[in-house]
Structure 1
Amino acid sequence: MRTTLLLDVDGTLIDSFPGIREGFLRGLDAVGYTHPAEEFIRRIPGPPMTETMASLGMDAAEVGRAMAAYDDYMQNGGWANFTVFAGVAELVAGWKGRGFELATATSKGEGYARLALERAGILPHIDFLGAAQERGPRKRKVDVIAHVLASVKPQRPLMVGDRLHDFHGAAHFGLPSVAVTWGYGAPEEYEEATYVARTARELEEIVNAF
């Protein structure tokens, strides 16, 4: 039975924190909000940015203005402010070569996800690009996973991510999940995953044994 890997992008495949952080701060500056502590900022990759903005107390109009500034930064090169985590591109290529079906399941906007994965050299190995809609209702991880499952109809799916919403989203559909610790999650979040991988080698071993 063929295994399908549902791969988160930010914090799992690529370290996009520098770009996300800069776009977030520009969004706050656009509406005159004080920058929160770095501990808060470190946790912003993963959930929809609109939810993060709203969690700071912004009303709908402020969220709209903040997101306009965020999107302007991303569209003008901010999306490319990332690096690929060590060993991950090689893992993805190896999985594809061994016959795994590969899909992304990311809250990153579809356009940005495509651009980033193409730049990273990972996109050619992806069978289905599951992502959030930049101008539509599909934003939350659970909605993205639902979209992937409906589109791909996998036989043996396994979610790989770094944040709580990855593991809760997988559990919502009864799917097992792997937490990778090189991303943006906290140790207490990893407890919600089925497996934990601390290195690319450990992730490979978990996937191969699944």
Structure 2
Amino acid sequence: MTTPSKKTLLFDLDGTLVDSFPGIRTSFLHTLQEKEWEIPSEDRISQVPGPPMEWTLQDLGMTAEQAQDALKTYLDHYGLVGWDLSEEFPGMRDLLIRLKKDGFRLCTATSKGEFFAEKVLRKFDMFDLFDFMGAATDNGTRRSKSAVIKHVLESVGLEEPADILMIGDRSHDIEGSAEFGIDCVGVTWGYGNATEWSAARFTASTAEELERIIHDWA
């Protein structure tokens, strides 16, 4: 089966393709302990994946300067320990292979920094399945999901929102893609909640359901 015209799929990484929470949690707690900062509740910790880490640190009460300093500690620890604790969500690599065979253009649109995004994708043999890796800059202005999506659209030369579909698990994916008139599939195996997913045009609870939604959309 092939798509009637070239359709582009933008995939979030953390919470969509891979379960990165164990590593993010480990490095996040290490950072707070190193900075002698109060540890939040597990409910709050569960919401850490998704937005840029410095946003989360400031939300905990750090100043912008403190958050940038803590971000360095986080990235150092994540580079040594955290990134390698990720696991592929069941069926996602096989789904990417089928989608690519069916004629879809595959891109990532992740708030994860470029360096670690590539490391994680290569760990699970996903990197070469993507036509373009859209990620945040580790040190720069491209940090928000909307900024990452804009980067992908401009780099790949995508101009028609109706031919683009975002797949992600958090409100940042849904709201970020909506800024460009792009529909989103909210995947429920990630780190979001029902309130966040309710804003998405589609919702998928398994890789098989996601595949059906994508083909029906195309």
The answer to whether the aligner puts 1:197 opposite 2:204 as a matched pair is yes
Task: State the 1:194 CA deviation.
Answer: 0.6
Contact 1:31 1:62 in 2 (8 A): no
Task: State the 1:130 CA deviation.
Answer: 0.1
Aligned residue identity for 1:15? D
TM-score calculated relative to the size of structure 2: 0.94
Contact 1:161 1:178 in 2 (8 A): yes
The DSSP-based 3-state class of the residue aligned with 2:195 is helix
CA shift digits 1:31-58 (9 cap, x unpaired): 2111100000001100000000000110
Aligned residue identity for 1:170? S
CA–CA distance in structure 2, aligned partners of residues 27 and 62 of structure 1: 12
Task: State the 1:139 CA deviation.
Answer: 0.2
Residue 169 of structure 1 is matched in structure 2 by 176
Residue 127 of structure 1 is matched in structure 2 by 131
Match of 1:147 among 128, 132, 151: 151
Match of 2:103 among 77, 90, 99: 99
CA–CA distance in structure 1, aligned partners of residues 34 and 57 of structure 2: 12
Residue 184 of structure 1 is matched in structure 2 by 191
Unaligned runs of 5+ in 2: none
Contact 2:27 2:81 in 1 (8 A): no
Match of 1:12 among 5, 16, 29: 16
Residue 24 of structure 1 is matched in structure 2 by 28
The DSSP-based 3-state class of the residue aligned with 2:212 is helix
CA–CA distance in structure 2, aligned partners of residues 209 and 198 of structure 1: 16
The answer to whether the aligner puts 1:33 opposite 2:37 as a matched pair is yes
1:61-76 superposed matches below 5 A: 61-76=65-80
Task: State the 1:72 CA deviation.
Answer: 1.1
CA shift digits 1:71-91 (9 cap, x unpaired): 111121321110000011100
Between the two proteins, the alignment pairs up a number of residues equal to: 210
CA–CA distance in structure 2, aligned partners of residues 144 and 61 of structure 1: 23
CA shift digits 1:4-47 (9 cap, x unpaired): 00000000000000010111111111221111000000011000
CA–CA distance in structure 1, aligned partners of residues 215 and 153 of structure 2: 21
RMSD of aligned alpha carbons: 0.9
Residue 90 of structure 2 is matched in structure 1 by 86
Residue 59 of structure 1 is matched in structure 2 by 63
Farther-moved stretch of structure 1 (69-78 vs 15-24): 69-78
CA–CA distance in structure 1, aligned partners of residues 199 and 174 of structure 2: 6
Farther-moved stretch of structure 1 (200-209 vs 26-35): 26-35
Q: Percent identity?
A: 45
CA shift digits 1:140-179 (9 cap, x unpaired): 0000000001111235110000000100011100001100
CA–CA distance in structure 2, aligned partners of residues 98 and 123 of structure 1: 18
Unaligned runs of 5+ in 1: none
